[in-house]
Amino acid sequence: MISYTKAPIQELKSQLFEQMAVRVLVKREDLNHPFISGNKWWKLKYNLEEAKALNCDTLLTFGGAYSNHIYATAAAAKEGGFKCIGIIRGEKVQPLNSTLAFAESCGMKLHYVSREAYRQKIESSFIQNLQDQFGNFFLIPEGGTNELAVKGVAEFALLLIEETEFDYLCLPVGTGGTMAGIVVQLAGKKKIIGYSALKGGSFLNNEIKKFGGDAFSNWRIEEAYHFGGYAKTDKVLGDFMKDAEGKHHLLLDQVYTGKMLFGVFDQINKGLFNKGSTILVLHTGGLRGRIKLEDN
């Protein structure tokens, strides 16, 4: 229903990797679609198919003013022929930032709610109020994580296994849906490390277990690389991202992929990966965050 371009795998070269006897590959899912990039494509795939199967012509989802999920869902709705509603946390600010302006250009109807009201987004009464206001819609949760998203990511994990050999799979984690799908599909194979983009990310363990991850023990969440919290950054992380672009021609964002790759490099330096191993790093897209950083 939405177009997909097979993403390449890029090998990173570094004296550090040679010293520590590891190989580092990056699956460039940021290149799988110009607008619905990275894990967002896989999380939305079966949600859109389900909406179509239910003959529902309108999608509704949630996000903040700079949400990659809002951006991707708006693009997916346009490409898939759906109407779309975005419930946006906070007051409307003019002019619209690049993320919301793009969403509107795709036809997404933006509806702003207070931060207090937004916290009720999973309550049945809140959803009913939205249905009363907008009519019938297919609901996609904030960040896109649900069972259909996990199904899509599980399909992606199967492709990874078929495409290349690796010992570790490393990825950034925000809501846990992408990691849950990978954990379930790999079914105890390989070692899977998720790098939390949020401060206090221990709750992500339960999110992954909720979708079936409790059956396996080959995964863990790293909580030490959040740089102060969601979307927080500092000069150390900024310099690392610039270095990655200069040395490896690899664009990262400060919300997810930059923190994750910083953590991978740090743990390689500390000798926490087995010598002789291949580390596959998942680039989950999200470069809207980087554009925001540069615009400011």
Residues 131-161 pLDDT 10s: 999 999 999 999 899 999 999 999 999 999 9
**SS3 for 27-73, per residue?**
EEHHHCCCCCCCHHHHHHHHHHHHHHHCCCCEEEEEECCCCHHHHHH
Residue 88 has pLDDT above 80, yes or no: yes
Look at residue 138 and give its three-state secondary structure: strand
Q: Which of 125, 144, 163 is the last residue of a domain?
A: 144
**In which domain, by residue range, is 46 found?**
39-144
Which structure tokens are listed for 190? 């390989």
Give the domain CATH number at 87: 3.40.50.1100
Number of domains in the chain: 2
Same domain, 50 and 116: yes
Q: How confident is the model at residue 231 (pLDDT cuts 50, 70, 90)?
A: confident
Give strand ranges (E) for 79-185: 83-89, 108-113, 138-139, 168-173
- Per-residue tokens: 63: 């996000």
* Domain match, 209 and 232 both: yes
SS3 assignment, position 245: helix
89 with 115, same domain: the answer is: yes
Contact between 285 and 71 under an 8 Å Cβ cutoff? The reply is no
pLDDT one-digit tens code per residue, 247-292:
999 999 998 999 999 999 999 999 999 999 999 999 999 887 665 4
Global pTM reads 0.91
Axis crossing angle, helix 288-295 with helix 68-80, rounded to the nearest 10: 120
Q: Is the Cβ–Cβ distance between 263 and 201 less than 8 Å?
A: no
